[in-house]
Amino acid sequence: MSAIRHALTNRREDDFAAWYQEVVSAADMAEESGVRGCMVIKPWGYGIWERMQRLLDARIKEAGVQNAYFPLFIPLSNFEREAAHVEGFAKEMAVVTHHRLIADGKGGLIPDPEAKLEEPLVVRPTSETIIGDAMSRWVQSWRDLPLLLNQWANVVRWEMRTRMFLRTAEFLWQEGHTAHENAENARVETMRALEMYRAFAEEDVALPVIVGEKPENERFPGAVETWSIEAMMQDGKALQAGTSHYLGTNFATAANIRFQDREGSQQLAHTTSWGLSTRMVGALIMTHGDDDGLRVPPQLAPQQVVILPMLRGDDGDGPLLEYCEELRGTIAGQQAFGEKLRVLLDRRSGKAAAKRWDWVRRGAPVIVEVGPRDREAGKVSMLRRDRLWGEGGKPGFEAPTREEAAQALPGMLAEIQSGLFDEAAVRRSRNITRDIDSFDALSGFFAEDRRYPGWAEVQWCRPTGPALDAVVERLKALKLTIRNVPVDAEPADGACLFSGAPATERILVARAY
């Protein structure tokens, strides 16, 4: 069985966008819904998101943050209180204006003029304004602070160019919202959430990220500071994988979140918000996928081990299935990452090879095949998804005994998890350049004949106002954006790439999703 026969139709190096779409389909992750920009997340794709939810939710709760739920519909007036916020989201907001339809006399339906809402309702693009309203009721004294809330929800942003998991009109996410006595406490929470995202990305998703502050033009609408984790995809583009915002008192002013301080005076609360979405599933695909489909880090795999009995469809299958069921129970009794292994016995009829490639494309970390001869010998045929191909272009099967396989699997899964991270980290390191010292050199680095050029870390002097706008336009002409100011970058020691003035810090520049 050759690699060419079983690989995907599209290759990453030929057409990364087409490859991505094929992986989403071939791995049975999601499909188009028939509604523009919206997707149906299928069980394997949703299973990965559920694992992300479970692991991230545990981190959220460890910090003392409580889950709650707030309405999908937000009065338009809530947004109008915060000018920068409504301006930032106005082009993406879906609005409900009527609550009933009537027949139009031509076989169709139209909004009932008699059922027009007194005030339009915005379909939630984010929840700062509606949660701010609740906070204004719940916070009366400094004793009520900090107020630490999170919700898992869907949001709607009317994206013009959509791609499954990466940019969809409706997507799933968590959004944290907190209120504090002062700026110091709020900033501590902003950075705590950012560190939580870094740890989740690197330890659970096996996704190396760069942590840093967004420049003024990239801030969340209405925020004082925005911080992000940025990840490099295999095509060299950047993906913003999570953000954390210090909102100052801007939203507290709009929502009137006031409290009596320790001296008896009235003060405005300082608030934060932070969010991570199903875009992380897209990051997983574009970071770990290969030309045979998806590779899922074991921490996130709905099934870490899949057992495939080589069934013949006759009465002789009984002993083989019994053997496989015993094997499943033995493996499921093992632990990895502090949890029992997730093991599936695939009893579907059909050729074993066809089922194998189905699970290869889905990215199950370990595939175990068992035939009659394996049963007789007390062995299994085991295939690691991260080491798919052996010598001669054939699947790289190992043949341990049943007991050896069960004992080896916890360590093997940990090795796969760390190996995927290391592979992505090495690739990122190879593709960040730090020796560009002029705008012409930057332009050359991102020239059109370089398909996957990576990122550039350059020096600048953090311009503001019109000077920043000019920098943004120069970069936009090259289809580039500033990703963030890395917190662990070396100190600036030269001239600003854009103005020639003394540089104050280093920034990451890249093409991005």
81, 162: one domain:
yes
333, 403: one domain:
yes
387 DSSP assignment: G
pLDDT of amino acid 314: 62
The phi, psi pair for 403, rounded to 5°, reads -70, -40
pLDDT of amino acid 192: 98
pLDDT of amino acid 3: 40
112, 229: one domain:
yes
pLDDT of amino acid 350: 82
Residue tagged 């970058």 (tokens): 489
80, 190: one domain:
yes
The CATH number given to whatever domain includes residue 170 is 3.30.930.10
Within a domain: residue 419?
no
137, 184: one domain:
yes
143, 181: one domain:
yes
Q: Which of 230, 254, 288 is the last residue of a domain?
A: 288
Q: Which of 413, 448, 473 is the last residue of a domain?
A: 413
- Please name the residues in contact with 363: beta carbons below 8 A apart, sequence gap of 6 or more: 27, 288, 289, 293, 294, 295, 296, 301, 385
Angle at 188 between CA 185 and CA 192, to 5 degrees: 140
Nearest C-alpha neighbor of 127 from the set 178, 167, 87, 165: 178
The CATH number given to whatever domain includes residue 309 is 3.40.50.800
Residue type, 135: M
Within a domain: residue 187?
yes
Angle at 195 between CA 189 and CA 197, to 5 degrees: 105
89, 164: one domain:
yes
Own/partner pairs, 2-6, CB within 8 angstroms, 24+ separation: 2/393, 2/394, 3/291, 3/292, 3/389, 3/393, 4/393, 6/292, 6/357, 6/360
Instruction: Give me the number of domains the chain comprises.
Output: 3
- d(C-alpha 220, C-alpha 218), whole Å: 7
Distances (CA, A) of 481 to 113, 125, 386, 478: 45, 23, 33, 9
112, 28: one domain:
yes
Within a domain: residue 4?
no
34, 159: one domain:
yes
Q: How far is CA 295 from the centre of its chain?
A: 15
pLDDT of amino acid 315: 57
- d(C-alpha 306, C-alpha 92), whole Å: 42
pLDDT beneath 50, residues of the chain: 1-4
CB-CB neighbours of 421 under 10 Å: 20
Within a domain: residue 294?
no
53, 126: one domain:
yes
The CATH number given to whatever domain includes residue 467 is 3.30.110.30
Within a domain: residue 58?
yes
Within a domain: residue 293?
no
Q: Is 478:497 a contact under the CB 8 Å cutoff?
A: no
Residue type, 215: P
317, 284: one domain:
no
Within a domain: residue 246?
yes
According to DSSP, the residues that pair with 339 across neighbouring strands are: 336
Task: Please write down the HEC assignment for all residues of 226-280.
Answer: EEEEEEECCCCCEEEEEEEEECCCHHHHHHCCEEECCCCCEEECEEEEEEEECHH
With 0.75 as the threshold, say if the pTM is over it.
Answer: yes
186, 80: one domain:
yes
Distances (CA, A) of 263 to 142, 270, 467: 10, 17, 43
Segments forming the whole domain that contains residue 486: 432-510
pLDDT of amino acid 7: 73
Within a domain: residue 425?
no
